[in-house]
Amino acid sequence: MPDKKWIPQPKRPRTPIPEQKPEERRRNFKEVALGYTAELAIQEAYRCLQCKNPLCVEGCPVGIDIPGFIRHIGEGRFEEAYYTLKKYNFLPAICGRVCPQESQCEKFCIMGKRFKPVAIGRLERFAADYFMESGKKEDFKIDPPSGKKVAIIGSGPAGLTCAGELAKKGHKVTIFEALHKPGGVLVYGIPEFRLPKRIVDIEVENLKKMGVEIKTSAIIGKLYTIDELLEEEGFDAVFIGTGAGLPYFMGIPGENLNGVYSANEFLTRVNLMRAYMFPEADTPVKIGEKVAVVGCGNTALDAARTALRLGAKETHIVYRRSKGEIPAREEEVQHAIEEGVQFNLLTNPIEIIGDENGWVKALKCIRTRCGEPDESGRRRPIPIEGSEFEFPVDTVIMAIGQGPNPLIQETQPDIEVKRWGIIKIDEEGRTSKKGVFAGGDIVTGGATVILAMGQGKKAAQAIDEYLKTGKWA
């Protein structure tokens, strides 16, 4: 399509994205948001002012040229928009779906001062989907082989990004993934109705086309230690991107009753082992009629919405803080409300009560009020004495956070860790062990896809430098 003259239309309302209706989608696993058509994308792109000093870019952890790719969409040059995105972001179709844009790029968009910010995330998704659906082959520019070998442990967004960046530089990359499918939380945690597996699979295939080898069901710490990878398997450097897959529990009585799950276990069973296709897939997951999910992050909402889709009559979020402190993405909270998830805020569980057969029968809770901010910056929940009450439920899903996967740290004690088993790195992603780098949730604790990718990318630059110079600063 030829260039059109850019005439911004800031007063035009933000273009809504077509979505499945709540009453339909609450019982199916198909994607909720259907995505912009080309016409809708161009219409939204025209809201962008093409700022000389684009504050949106400062809000993006990987510094995407946002006005640049939006301009290409406005001009109908969708393929260019995709390649502009790809220069900065290895996984645009994924980020366009799951990034918390409202607290990053869109938060800083100048349009947000008087009107609604430009829908940057939706436009990113459009450009990426357009390219995928066009059937065009990706143009991978790969440097000549360097003769160096890098092992990546973990195939989440940190590992995938690091692998892609290193493959571009001509290094031979092997990813070791503990599970039987690559993608990390993108496949085992985030449900199909927010991020179809097909999208992650395409990105993984792209990596393979770049020459990256992926070994699944390969647990580092069991199959090889890091020392063995470096000294016996011929790898010149190692990147650890093992994430934060260890679920936390509250330590309250009754957590070992039948009918209590961790959100990770529940979502993995449904997503990766296809429990939602039972009896076609032989991995049932027992979901009761009345489900309580403890916590209010993205994981909690994913678990609550999945429980509804599996047939629960009622699904409740139980969260000890107030609305202003909810950590989940705004859009997902809105979607959950529309689908019928009930929010019980300022409520904290203190015990899970079982019946005579050891199955969950009720959740005992106490009401809370918000006090002064704690070290997390959020207001501290204070229990209100005498406000205890019992809440009849038959399933409880704990979604109060995850910690680092501990196996690497246990089998490689010369890698320095901080509290909670988090791996210590320097600015460039170097650990305390020569030749070993790390990034993503394993160094931040549970964070976001884009932050994990940003760290994977930064570490790849440092690994490349190390492989070329042999210098360990």
Residues binding ligand FAD (CB under 6 A)? 98-100, 153-159, 176-179, 184-185, 189-190, 219-221, 241-243, 245, 267, 298-299, 302, 329, 405, 407-408, 440-442, 446-450, 452
Query: How far separated are the first and last CA of the chain, in Å rounded?
Result: 50
Residue from 19, 43, 51, 340 in contact with ligand SF4 (CB under 6 A): 51
From the list 104-112, 126-134, 191-199, 201-209, the region that binds ligand SF4 by CB under 6 A is: 104-112
Q: For residues 264 and 189, is the Cβ–Cβ distance under 8 A? A: yes
User: What are the backbone angles phi and psi of residue 382, rounded to the nearest 5°?
Assistant: -115, 125
Question: Which pair of tokens denotes residue 252?
Answer: 């309250």
C-alpha atoms less than 13 angstroms from C-alpha of 87 in its C-beta half-sphere: 11
Choose the contact partner of 299 out of ligand SF4, ligand FAD, none; CB within 5 to 8 A by kind. Answer: ligand FAD
> What is the dihedral sign for C-alpha 358, 362, 363, 366?
negative
DSSP conformation class of 18: P
From the list 52-60, 179-187, 258-266, 366-374, the region that binds ligand SF4 by CB under 6 A is: 52-60
The span from the CA of 66 to the CA of 348, in Å, is 41
From the list 14-22, 45-53, 423-431, 440-448, the region that binds ligand SF4 by CB under 6 A is: 45-53
Indicate the length of the chain as a whole number. Answer: 473
Q: Is the peptide bond between 404 and the residue preceding it cis, with omega within 30 degrees of 0?
A: no
Q: For residues 76 and 4, is the Cβ–Cβ distance under 8 A? A: yes
Element spanning 331, H or E: helix 330-339
Query: Rg of the chain's alpha carbons, rounded to an integer?
Result: 23
3-state secondary structure of 352: strand
Binding mask 218-237 for ligand SF4 (x = CB under 6 A): --------------------
Nearest approach, Cβ of 203 to ligand FAD (angstroms)?
A: 13
Nearest approach, Cβ of 112 to ligand SF4 (angstroms)?
A: 8
From the list 76-84, 109-117, 379-387, 409-417, the region that binds ligand SF4 by CB under 6 A is: 109-117
Q: Which is nearer to ligand FAD, 66 or 263 (CB)?
A: 263
Nearest approach, Cβ of 47 to ligand SF4 (angstroms)?
A: 7
Nearest approach, Cβ of 219 to ligand FAD (angstroms)?
A: 5
User: By CB under 6 A, is residue 118 in contact with ligand SF4?
Assistant: yes
Q: Which is nearer to ligand SF4, 49 or 350 (CB)?
A: 49
Q: Which is nearer to ligand FAD, 354 or 440 (CB)?
A: 440
Nearest approach, Cβ of 68 to ligand SF4 (angstroms)?
A: 9
Count H helices and E strands in the chain, helices first: 18, 16
Amino acid at 215: K
Nearest approach, Cβ of 79 to ligand FAD (angstroms)?
A: 26
